[in-house]
Structure 1
Amino acid sequence: MPAFSITHRSAKSWLKISILVDVRMSEAIAAYIAELTGTGLEITSPENNRTKTDGAFPTETITAYIPIALKESVNDAASEKIAALRQFLLMVWHIFPDCPAPVLSTYTIMEEDWGEKWKRFFTSFQITPGLTIKPSWEAAEVLGPDGGNKKAVIEIDPGLAFGTGHHASTQMALLLLDELFQAKGKQLERILDVGTGSGILAMACGLFGAKEVLALDNDPDAVETARQNILKNRLEGRITVSGREISSVKAGFDLAVANITHDILAGLAKLLSGLIKPQGFLVLSGILKGVQEHSIGGIYAKHGFACIKSLHKDEWAALLMHKI
């Protein structure tokens, strides 16, 4: 069985690709870029599209990213992809001679040393009706898993791991978990968190009442960060953090949650189906609304899951699924 990467750390740098294109060429170019990069892409329309009065067709900007590194072979591969893209754009333009030529721009985004910079922007905030997220340097009562009807507080320092609760995908996953535990809490005893990052979703499950949570991540930084956060929140009796492969985990979970990318979620569908009990639940986030959302819904439907609720925020989607 293949080993799936569930790490949240970024590549050392990314090559950002942006193409300004007439909408008549957009679909073909977007499909090619998706295949070329193997990652998600974003399509946006400028505001002036709504006010065009000269008869010109509207334009769209297609944005995608290619991970690159300091290794020469990796950079060569990125250069080859850009050269192939230029040739494809020229070919499409020849098919649509009445359209303006596509405008391609690229630049490199370097990974920041954000382990300290994020602290300037991280303050306490209520993320669900029953849950508040706070950084360690702010004073607030931290409740254990038996905190009664009081609002639960997670104290968190993400360090080098993904997950402060500010990102839309994390927020929606927490909202779905909060609602699910309120409705089915007594049935949700054993939980699996795939790609735990800072441990935020695992800790929420522990505070909401889960008796046993296994939090997995194959990034050593994430594993250490999650362990420290769990200790801060006095949840070590309920949550175990591990860097083990998910393929070695024993089945029998009432709920699994995964806030990771579309491609990894797609590859994990069969495995997660085998790990979750009949009538169990699955919360998936980290996917773009629209094409990726429908893709994941279809893939997991083939493995016995039905989507019972979806949330959307910005360009992101999160799904609550039930194993039938």
Structure 2
Amino acid sequence: MNADAQAQTQPSAGSFFELVLLVAEAAVEPVSDALDALDALSVSVEDADALTPAEQALFGEPGMPPPKEGWNRSRVVALFNNEAAAREAAELLAPQDFFGDGQVLGVRAVAEQDWVRLTQSQFEPVEITPTFWIVPSWHEPPAGAQQVLRLDPGLAFGTGTHPTTRMCLRWTARHGAQGQRVLDYGCGSGILAMGAAKFGAREIVAVDIDPAAVESTRLNAENNHVQLQSGLPDLARGEFDLVLANILATPLKVLAPLLCAHVRAGGQLVLAGILARQADELIEAYAPWVQLSVSDEEDGWILMTATRA
């Protein structure tokens, strides 16, 4: 957990001011709520001790509670339309009981930006193979790109920038999916399902527990002229030639019997979202059904695959 952003309004080009506060862990939530009520355009929270010996790591996998809910000291940054609003918010917050021993570190101007252009500049085309690329809508495909997926940053995970996504797509590009029935379990943006479509899959089912991901997959498929079915997990029925699941190690272990049941005899299982140190855990969890092995590795993440006997 590196930041807790609560953006209500996307700023357009213009002059903005940030109010910067230092608050204790217990004050973060009431202070953030108060800033929201004071019409802050956005509120972000970060570890005030980042990059020092006192820095704290907050992390956790789905279904597992984080070891700690917040940092001992947090830097809270609120964005306002103008300087007067930022200073008024500081004056109103300082005497409040819930502000406690918090400090107002200052109000500072934010340089004028073209926010849309700035956001777009952070997302470049992503190479999966020399001929297969993920390309945002505002870019032209690179020379030599024979297969292209158009994908912009959105609500659901999966833009091709994470190693786990790239490894799954690279596996599909190398092995193909011609004529196969494919299941993308935990589809996020639908990127793996669409990748399978680009390499010849005849029927594709993409499922996720998050309705926003299901809708994102549907819209992305339309934008890429790909035919697939997207829905909640109960949409996945029967056996598939290829089952893809890019989630995380803990839910992958829980899902082992379900995912393996969806792989037909002779079919392929491709799993990602796994750290290299977690390989033995996954091998053990899936041993009753398949023999997993590591088939790719990138930046400490691994891709594990198996063929159903």
Q: What is the TM-score normalised by the length of structure 1?
A: 0.59
* Contact persistence 1:130–1:178 (CA under 8 A): no
CA drift of 1:150 comes to 7.0
- Provide closer, same or farther for how the CA distance between residues 82 and 207 of structure 1 changes in structure 2, counting only shifts above 3 A: closer
CA drift of 1:108 comes to 6.5
Which ranges of structure 1 fall in alignment gaps of 5 or more residues? 1-9, 14-60, 69-76, 84-104, 111-115, 142-148
- Provide closer, same or farther for how the CA distance between residues 64 and 318 of structure 1 changes in structure 2, counting only shifts above 3 A: farther
CA drift of 1:191 comes to 0.3
CA drift of 1:139 comes to 3.0
Measure the CA separation in 2 of the matches of 1:172 and 1:63. 27
Residue aligned with 2:155, SS: coil
In the alignment, structure 1 residue 296 sits paired with structure 2 residue 282: yes
Measure the CA separation in 1 of the matches of 2:220 and 2:173. 20
Which residue of structure 1 lines up, in the alignment, with residue 238 of structure 2? Answer: 251
Q: How does 1:58-207 map to 2 (within 5 A)?
A: 63-66=57-60, 119-140=120-141, 151-181=146-176, 185-186=177-178, 189-207=180-198
Deviations 1:78-122 (CA, angstroms, capped at 9, x unpaired): 7xx659xxxxxxxxxxxxxxxxxxxxx756799xxxxx7753311
Instruction: Report the number of matched residues.
Output: 219
Deviations 1:33-52 (CA, angstroms, capped at 9, x unpaired): xxxxxxxxxxxxxxxxxxxx
- Provide closer, same or farther for how the CA distance between residues 156 and 82 of structure 1 changes in structure 2, counting only shifts above 3 A: closer
CA drift of 1:176 comes to 1.4
In the alignment, structure 1 residue 277 sits paired with structure 2 residue 264: yes
Which residue of structure 2 lines up, in the alignment, with residue 229 of structure 1? Answer: 220
Deviations 1:275-313 (CA, angstroms, capped at 9, x unpaired): 1101110110011111x122112211222x123542111
User: Which stretch of the first structure deviates more once superposed, 219-228 or 307-316?
Assistant: 307-316
Measure the CA separation in 2 of the matches of 1:274 and 1:157. 33
Q: What is the TM-score normalised by the length of structure 2?
A: 0.62
Q: Which amino acid aligns with 2:244?
A: V
Measure the CA separation in 1 of the matches of 2:247 and 2:75. 21
RMSD: 3.5
- Provide closer, same or farther for how the CA distance between residues 134 and 251 of structure 1 changes in structure 2, counting only shifts above 3 A: same
- Provide closer, same or farther for how the CA distance between residues 131 and 279 of structure 1 changes in structure 2, counting only shifts above 3 A: same
Q: Whose helix fraction is larger, Structure 1's or Structure 2's?
A: 1
Q: Which amino acid aligns with 2:229?
A: T
Q: Which amino acid aligns with 1:314?
A: D
* Greater relative contact order (CA < 8 Å, ≥ 6 in sequence): 1
* Contact persistence 2:185–2:233 (CA under 8 A): no
Residue aligned with 2:128, SS: strand
Structure with the greater alpha carbon radius of gyration: 2
Q: Which amino acid aligns with 1:313?
A: E
Q: Which amino acid aligns with 1:164?
A: T
- Provide closer, same or farther for how the CA distance between residues 298 and 67 of structure 1 changes in structure 2, counting only shifts above 3 A: closer
Which residue of structure 1 lines up, in the alignment, with residue 249 of structure 2? Answer: 262
* Contact persistence 1:158–1:225 (CA under 8 A): no
* Contact persistence 2:130–2:145 (CA under 8 A): no
Percent sequence identity is 33
* Contact persistence 2:181–2:202 (CA under 8 A): yes
